[in-house]
């Protein structure tokens, strides 16, 4: 049901679910970069999340999914604007409503991905990670413990005038968002 919602949302915005990852893989191939998949297995993560969720969280999520089927594009855009204008406040609201979901979907995955990137950074002096917006703050904190971090949002990349490969950073995040690639 969640995968269908993600596909429907992407279709509503004229993109395809996972298109940011395909674009990143294509860009890596163009410059001869190695591609590493650093995230946890989706099925395992979903199962862990469902087991960790309280009944209250499950009911809230079910209601949210049903309501999302009737959500207009303008409403989604307003929520995205609200997220980008106050990411910490937005995530605090999500944490309050869905503590188990945030723990499994965000916090545990951030730790897992940061550890994978730590291992990759040993052999790769410059690394680019493509992440969802909800992971940026946590991953930036985790990665900055062992690497210099430079973050680019999708909007930044669309306007960037210099080649990010010439950056002084040893770890960069390229973040997809707003339903576009």
Pairing of strands 149-153, 127-132: unpaired
Amino acid 156: pLDDT: 65
User: How far apart are alpha carbons 54 and 70 in whole angstroms?
Assistant: 25
Q: How many CA atoms lie within 13 A of 74 on its CB side?
A: 0
Owner of token pair 């679910």: 17
Residue 116 is predicted with a pLDDT of 93
- C-beta separation of 172 from 164 below 8 A: yes
Phi-psi region of 165 (alpha: psi -120 to 50; beta: other; left: phi over 0): alpha
Nearest CA to 121 among 151, 136, 143, 150? 143
Read off the pLDDT of residues 108-163 as tens digits, 9 standing for 90 and up.
Answer: 999 999 999 999 888 887 788 888 878 888 899 999 888 888 887 766 665 554 45
Indicate yes or no: pTM above 0.85: no
E strand or H helix at 162: none
From first CA to last CA, the distance across the chain in angstroms is 23
Longest CA–CA separation in the chain, Å: 50
Q: State pLDDT tens for residues 85-103.
A: 888 888 899 999 999 999 9
């Amino acid at each position: 049901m969640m995968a269908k919602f993600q596909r429907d949302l992407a279709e509503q915005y004229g993109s395809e679910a996972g298109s940011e990852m395909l674009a990143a893989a294509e860009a890596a191939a163009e410059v001869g970069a190695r591609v590493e998949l650093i995230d946890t297995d989706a099925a395992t993560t979903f199962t862990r999340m469902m087991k960790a969720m309280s009944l209250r969280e499950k009911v809230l999520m079910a209601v949210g999914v049903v309501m999302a089927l009737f959500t207009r594009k303008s409403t989604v855009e307003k929520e995205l604007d609200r997220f980008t204008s106050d990411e910490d406040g937005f995530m605090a609201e999500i944490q309050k409503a869905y503590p188990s979901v945030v723990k499994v979907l965000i916090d545990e995955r951030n730790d897992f991905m940061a550890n994978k990137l730590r291992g990759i950074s040993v052999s790769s002096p410059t690394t680019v990670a493509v992440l969802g917006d909800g992971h940026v703050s946590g991953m930036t904190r985790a990665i900055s413990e062992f690497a210099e971090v430079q973050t680019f949002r999708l909007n930044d990349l669309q306007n960037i005038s210099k080649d990010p490969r010439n950056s002084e950073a040893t770890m960069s995040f390229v973040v997809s968002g707003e339903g576009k690639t």
